[in-house]
Amino acid sequence: MRIIRAPTLARAHELAVRTVLEKGWVLDTENDEATIECEELALEVESPESVPMASPASRFQQRFLDVYADNLLHGSDAKFEYDYHRRLFDWGEQLMVNGEDVHVDQIDYIARKLEQAANSRRAVAVTWNPVVDENLDDCPCLQLVQCLLRNGKLQMKVVFRSNDILSAAGSNMYALVRLQKMIADRLGVPCGRYTHIALVPHIYYRRDLNDIEPFCKSGTEIRPVAEVCRACGKCPRSSGA
């Protein structure tokens, strides 16, 4: 596992993109999409609310991020195979206990658990629902959220089974830190460290080719593996890759 420590979410995102592009290997997914993936990443941001929270290299900026975060925190009318709001605030789709549908607000549970026991390690929420997800074409990437109260601050640790580092990770981190802030406010404490673990970090280097160059800056900021440079072809470095 590679550990990246950065002062802001924006810098953590940039360093994660760089790591995947420079240290990764090419692999087609089970859906025949061309990706470059690398070993596990752990991104640690000590003060996650510090600005900038979005990298200027990303095409997803403040307006988009705020809408995305609002959908995670409050839900949306849009229809998807799954959504993180429901998985975190209303877990239990297609499950029943004692003849009643299961509805678990896991975020409320996290807050209540830490109100009851400030040193608890059990303030955890999960998203995976085997009854549903084993049959979905598009299943949750975020798997686990854990919150800890340490040194008077609320820490958050999240685990992604798979994470699109270029196009999704920046939005994911922003929205989850907003969730961290929501829980911290309920507890009356500031936010502490945010740790973002991606078990299979990857980039769709052909699909999202145009989004790579603002991070790469024609090979001056990032020197991607040869396959990515050949696919891009936008700078002199690609001809020698």
Catalytically active residues are 141
Distance of CA 169 to the CA centre of its chain: 4
Structure tokens at 197: 């673990």
Type of residue at 114 = L
Q: How many residues does the chain have?
A: 241
DSSP element (H, E) containing 4 = strand 2-6
Q: How far apart are the first and last CA of the chain?
A: 27
Rounded distance between C-alpha atoms, residue 42 and residue 12, angstroms: 10
What is Dmax (Cα atoms) for the chain? 66
- 109 with 147: CB under 8 angstroms? no
